[in-house]
Amino acid sequence: MLNHLLVVFETDKEDNDALAHAVRIARASGARITLLRLLDLSSYKSSFVDPLDWHIRNLEIKLSLEKLRQKLRKAGVAVHTEALDSSEAGNLLHYAQAQAVDLIILVKRTERISDLVHNCIKSTSIPVLVLQAAGSPPNLTRSYRKLLVPLDSSQRAEYALPFAAQFAQIFNTEIIVAHVLHKPDTSRSRPPYVADRALINQFVENNRSEIIPYLKQIAARLPGKVETRLLTSDNVAVTLANLAEQEEIDLIVLCAHGHSGIPQQPYGNTTNSLITYGQKPMLVVQDLPVAQAAQTQSVRPSMKARSSA
């Protein structure tokens, strides 16, 4: 169940889209929201932090958070605010675990995946909702009408299914389960021979005959209206991104790794490409065991959280 949502702010800028998503989910699920502002001490040019300057800075942050809290409370949701004297992902995740957070909401402000987004996905089993910076006024009435769940026939990819089912039940959302068949590569030094094309086509058709019943079985396990898509492409990530645009998908729900994902890497190539270049909100679920995820954050700097509401 979604009981506690954590919206993370790295700067003083109001993340309208993050607030809209948080309110949307909280209204539907009854969850409470915590607005967490990360304070980056490294922004000071010297190791000395002027106490007066720091006090004034804290007051400004508290006032900013209080304005957001009042704004969201008018939307009918329970809101709490915190300021964390750190910008490290390890401290953020330690706080999230201690507070029994069920969903972390982050905004990716640039095309590059920030260290915070990267480390959050890598180091916790808590689902992470990654949003693109929008800058537009929040739309608190829009709901999740369509979810896209990419699968590759692996059990690892299916790890995202319970989270998609939960969203579908909360929002009465349609789910599209998609599988993209990747065409085998041929020599790029010459055009493929007729025999090569025949082998590739045969390979694709053999896979299609196996995947069609697999997708039907998956669809039968999910609640509500579920449709399936089986596509063939040379680029899985681009095809999924195009499908999300064509179907007007509101949220992509996927596992960090598929069948070819390397456990030593925080997420696979498809997930990386969709986070980096995609335009849709993404709910990323880490499939690594909790013990293995904990090993990636064995060193946790000291942390101090301050409540402002």
CATH of the domain at 249: 3.40.50.620
Are residues 95 and 216 part of one domain? no
Residues 122 and 168 in one domain: no
Q: Which structural domain, as residue segments, surrounds residue 270?
A: 146-284
In a domain, 87, yes or no: yes
Q: Is 105 among the domain residues?
A: yes
**Residue 222 in domain:** yes
In a domain, 273, yes or no: yes
Based on the fold, state whether residues 132 and 156 are members of the same structural domain: no
Contact 284, 254 (CB under 8 A): yes
What residues form DSSP beta bridges with 7? 35, 105
Kindly state whether residues 137 and 22 are assigned to the same domain: yes
Return d(Cα 77, Cα 68) in angstroms, integer: 12
Contact status, residue 302 vs residue 93, Cβ threshold 8 Å: no
* Confidence at residue 49, expressed as pLDDT on a 0 to 100 scale: 63
Q: Is residue 289 part of a domain?
A: no
Q: Write down the pLDDT at residue 167.
A: 94
pTM, entire model = 0.84
Q: Are 91 and 172 found together in one domain? A: no
Report pLDDT for 111: 73
Are residue 120 and residue 89 in the same domain, yes or no?
A: yes
Residues 43 and 127 in one domain: yes
Number of compact structural domains in the chain: 2
Whether residue 166 is found in the same domain as residue 275: yes
The answer on 151 and 138 residing in a single domain is no
Q: How far is CA 17 from CA 12, 14, 145, 276, in A?
A: 14, 9, 17, 18
59 and 162 co-located in one domain: no
Rounded Cα distance, 14 and 27, in Å: 20
Q: How many residues does the chain have?
A: 309
Indicate the pairing of strand 282-285 with strand 128-132: antiparallel
- ∠ Cα 135 141 147 (to 5°): 85
Burial class (CB in 10 A: 0-12, 13-18, 19+), 239: buried
Query: Do 122 and 150 lie in a common domain?
Result: no
Whole-number pLDDT of residue 132: 82
Q: Is residue 200 part of a domain?
A: yes
The answer as to whether 217 is a domain residue is yes
Co-location of 15 and 103 in the same domain: yes
Is 172 contained in some domain? yes
Q: In tens digits, what is the pLDDT along the chain, a chain of 309 residues?
A: 899 999 999 876 767 889 989 999 999 999 999 999 988 765 554 556 677 776 777 788 888 889 889 988 888 899 999 988 888 888 999 999 999 999 999 998 777 788 889 889 988 899 999 998 765 555 555 679 999 999 999 998 999 999 999 999 999 999 999 999 887 665 566 566 666 667 767 777 778 889 999 999 999 999 999 999 999 888 999 999 999 999 999 999 999 988 776 766 778 889 999 998 888 999 999 987 654 544 544 333 334 455 544
